[in-house]
Amino acid sequence: MAVEPTMTTAKRGRVNTVDIVKGIAIVLMVFGHTEQGAMHRHWWTAMPRFVKGMAFTESFIYSFHMPAFFFIAGLFLAGSLTRRGPVGFALEKAKTILYPYVLWGLIESLSDPLTAPFRSGAHPFSWYRVFMDLASGNASWFLITLFECQLLAILIFRLPHWAQMALALAGCYFMPVSPVIVLYRPFLFFPFVVAGMWVGGARMSLVEDLPRKTAWLGFGVLIAIQLAAIAYGGEVNRWTITPLGLTGTVMLIFLSRGLTGTVWDNLFRWLGEASLAIFLIAPFCQGFGRELVLRVLHSTAPLPQLLVPMVVALSIPALLWHYQDRLHIGWFFHWPVLTTAAVQLQRTH
C-alpha cells in the first residue's frame, strides 16, 4: 500500500514529477478549449487543411490529457483514505472538490447574463437551469466526475487490486450510456483512478531515477503509438479510452522526466501546482483574451487567437492561486475552514 512521503521527499522528486504532468496536461486543456472557441465561431472555415489539423490535434489531446488527471488523483488516494478513514476522506473531498464545483458553478451561472454577448452560444438565465446543471454535472464535468470517482474508490478500497480493476473496467465498458454526466462519465474515468492507486506515490517517485535518455526514448515510442492510433482509429470512445488514456499518461510521465532540470520543469511545475485554479478560472480569462485580440489587433487569425488567450488563461489563474494567501482568496478554491495542513496537501497533490 502506498504511503505519502513527507514534504521534503516530495520536493526532491515525486511531487515535482506529478506537478510537471499536471502542468503539461492543463496547458493542453487550455489549448483545446481555446481552439474549440475559435472553431465554434467558424473563424477558420476558409482554411480547411488547418481545420483538419486542429481536429486531429484535438482528438490526440483528448485521448490522454484528462485521463492523466484521474490517474494522478489515484496516486495518493490509498494513503489519504487510510489516514482519514472513509468518512473523513469523503468530507475532505467534499471540501476540496465538491465545494469548488458548486461555488464556481454558481459563479458561472450568475455571470452568464454578463458574458453572453461574448460567447458563441447562450441560454436564458433561470434558477431551474442552474440547479439542473449542478445536479447533472453540466456545471463542471471534471470536478463532479472526480468527486464521484473518489467515492467509488471508498467502496472498492479493501478489495484486491485485480478485483478493483475488474470492477472499474466492467463499469467503463458495460454501464449504459447516459447523457447525464453524473450517471455515466465517472465510470469511464474510474479505471484511471484505480491505475493510479495501483502505482501509488512511492512507485511514482522511482521515475526520478530513470535516465533522461531512456525517458525521451520511451516518450518518443509512446507518442508515435498514440499518434498512429488516432490517425487510424479516430477520436477515442468508451472502448479505446482506457488503453489510450493509460499509454498517453505514461507518455506524459516520460516527458516530465525528460524535462526535469530544465526551464520547462519550473514552468510546468508552477502551472501544475495551480491546475485547479486554471481549470476553474480559465474560461473567463480565455474570453477576455479572445476579445482583447479582436478589439485591439482586430484579428481572428490562428496565431494570435490561440497564443494570447492561452497566455492569459494560464497566467492569471496561476498567479491568483500562488498568491491566494496574500490576496485572501483561498475560499475560491477550497472550503474556508480547512486546516493549514489540508490546504497544503491540496496544493501539493
Is 145 within the bounds of a domain?
yes
Domain that includes residue 238, residue range: 7-348
Q: Which of 222, 292, 321 has its CA nearest to residue 23?
A: 321
Is 2 within the bounds of a domain?
no
| Residue 348: its H or E element | helix 340-348
How many structural domains is the chain composed of?
Answer: 1
- Separation of alpha carbons 160 and 163, rounded Å: 5
Is 234 within the bounds of a domain?
yes
Is 280 within the bounds of a domain?
yes
Residues 6+ apart with CB under 8 A from 257: 17, 207, 208, 210, 212, 215
- Separation of alpha carbons 34 and 27, rounded Å: 11
Per-residue pLDDT of the chain (349 residues; tens, 9 = 90+): 333 333 333 444 345 889 999 999 999 999 999 999 999 899 999 999 999 999 999 999 999 999 999 999 999 999 999 999 999 999 999 999 999 999 999 998 888 877 766 666 666 778 888 899 999 998 889 999 999 999 999 999 999 999 999 999 999 999 999 999 999 999 999 999 999 999 988 888 888 888 999 999 999 999 999 999 999 999 999 999 999 999 999 999 999 999 988 889 999 999 999 999 999 999 999 999 999 999 999 999 999 999 999 999 999 999 999 999 999 999 999 998 754 445 555 554 5
Is 1 within the bounds of a domain?
no
- Separation of alpha carbons 240 and 326, rounded Å: 45
- Separation of alpha carbons 13 and 10, rounded Å: 6
The counts of H helices and E strands in the chain are 17, 0
Is 309 within the bounds of a domain?
yes
Q: Name the grid cell of 279.
A: 481549470
Q: Most distant CA pair in the chain: distance in Å?
A: 59
Residues 309, 56: contact at Cβ < 8 Å?
A: no
Is 315 within the bounds of a domain?
yes
